[in-house]
Every structure is written in C-alpha cells, then in structure tokens.
Structure 1
Amino acid sequence: MVKCPRCGYENASSSVYCDNCAYLLSEKNSARVTKENKPGRWNVGIARKIVIVLGIIVIALLLFSFAFNNSQPSHNDTLNVIYDDGSHHQSSTYPFKAIVKGDGNWYAEMGNPDYLVSKSGSGSKSFSLDCAAWDDVEINAQKYSGEGELSIQLLRNGKVVAENSTTNGTDSVSIYFDS
C-alpha cells in the first residue's frame, strides 16, 4: 500500500495516481507508464539497431555476390569448346595430312568422320588434318568441272597411306582410313 502525500489516502502499491485526489504518487512509476504504455512510438535505440543490422546484411550480400560472380569461370570456359583456325598444327600431334590435286575447281570434306572440315580450291593443295594418330580419317572430294583429273592422298607422318583419283566428268573420290 502507498499513502498519498497530499491527502493521506491509502492506495494500492501498483497505483500511479491517487484514487482520491489524482495526485502523482511517484516519478518512478510515471516514467514507466510513459515509456511502456504509449502506443505508436518507437524507441530510437531499437530502430537504430534494426537499421544497422539490415545495413550489415545488405553489405554482406553485396560482397558475397561480388565474390561469387568473380570466382565463376566465364560461359565459354565451361563449354570445353576448342577454337581452331588451322594455324597451330604440329606433325607430332596431328600426324595426318591430306593432299588434293585437281586440274580445275574442286570441293573436299576431310578429317575425323564425326567432324569433317570443308575446303574448296583449285590446283594442288595440302591440308593438315585435326586428327590424332588413333582417329579414323575420311576424305571426300568432288570436281566442279568435267575435265581433267582429281586425286586425293592421305599421308600419315609424311608417308602415303591411301590414295584415290578419277578422270570422269564431275565425279567424286573418297578415302576412308581406319586407324
């Protein structure tokens, strides 16, 4: 029980104001009432803490995203694609060479049967083939004009392993070499 200092009325110990004269019974209880029972007001300390925590989370996500994106290989690196412009062939790595000879214009497809490279030209031309020593090799050539001879040769390490030719019209010639 709390006694009112103004009128002497005995109030319950949980009373903030005197039940008889409405006198404020204690400053301590008054501070508790204003902080705890006022709806709609934010405590500035709690709001500041929430903003700081959210800011740290956003910064951490941005840093993680930056680190993750920069540590990933590019799209082309993950495809295992080999680009070849035909200028880096070495006889030890690519032992096969094709020679196409024609009196006129011709068209040829050559290389591994699963990956044929198309070439066209006239006269005599030599091509290094992108085939390993254990690969099967195929050469198909066709004349555009009806006159003259068309011949093809397959060389392995500088030695002729297969050849074929034709003199008929716009005929074609083929070689299939099974390693």
Structure 2
Amino acid sequence: MVWAPPRSSCCSQRQGGGQGVWISVTKLGRLVKDMKIKSLEEIYLSSLPIKKSEIIDFFLVASLKDKVTGCCGSVLVHLISTPRGTSIVSAPVPTKLLMMAGIDDCYTSARGYTATLGDFAKATFDAISKTYSSLTPDLWKETVFTKSPYQEFTDHLVKTHTRISVQRTQAPAVATTKFYIRKIN
C-alpha cells in the first residue's frame, strides 16, 4: 500500500517535515507505518483513538470506489472517482449534493436536459445513493475479539522505537513581589 501525502500541505510545512514524508508520533501511527496494522477495521474493532489524519490517509485512497450512474427523467449523471486533491469537478447543484454526502474528489458527467434542476438533483442523489448500502445487525459478521494491537506488538514498539525525552527548563520562582499603591490627590 502506498502512502498519500497529507490533505493540506501547509500543516506539514509548518511542522518542518517535507511533503510526502510521514513521521509517526503516536504508537498507533508507528504500528500503521510499520504495517503491523493492515486495515481501519482492526483499529475500529480495538476501539483505539485515531489522533492523526495521516493514519486515515494511509488507508483511504479515493472517496469513490467505482463509476456510479444515476438517472431521473431524461437526465443521466455519472460520478467518476478521481485522485485525491482533485476536488469536485461538477456543476453547482451536484457539487452541493456531493459535498453534503462527504465526497471530496469526484468528476461528474451529465447527459440529457440538465436545465431541469429537479431531475438533475434527483439523478445526482440517485447516483450518490448507489455508493452506499445499509448494513443491519442481522447481516453483521461474527466478531472474534483479539488482543489490542498495543498488547500484541508491545515488543516491537519497545525494541524498534526509543522514546525521545524533551527537557524543559523552568524559570526560577520569585520569592517576594511588592505592590505599591500611590494615592492620587
């Protein structure tokens, strides 16, 4: 799996890191970077907090998996996945719907009489609704509980990564402070 650069380049520049270089700070980040954890599902099943966006960026490549088509009336809308960072390439109405649906990177292609905004919006909504499905509890897989990744890879974390300590200097405390009040005539 290839790591994608962070969403905004200004954060990595502020921290002094180069673009495309991920320096993991958290234990979970180190386990992900060393490929000890192979999916987001493992993290969610262990109920571990994800504190860095780079962990999500490592696993998610595109917001849409396939080309999806929706239709209403004479309007036919295709949603096509694009590489990260492309953003939404679309007319204003589908752009608003795609942003509300949480799709970040998408290219749209439309045919038919798109001036009818009702049909255009409904066709876009139809395409968006085909990108997900409902998973009810009776369809869930049986969960087999395992050790937390922190417990499972304790030796790896201790052996390969030493903790960096930062010394803090403290200013000497002032013994006495005097306040003078001047009487104004």
TM score, norm. by length of structure 1: 0.17
Structure showing the higher helix proportion among its residues? 2
TM score, norm. by length of structure 2: 0.17
Bigger RCO (CA 8 Å, 6+ sep):
2
Structure showing the higher strand proportion among its residues? 1
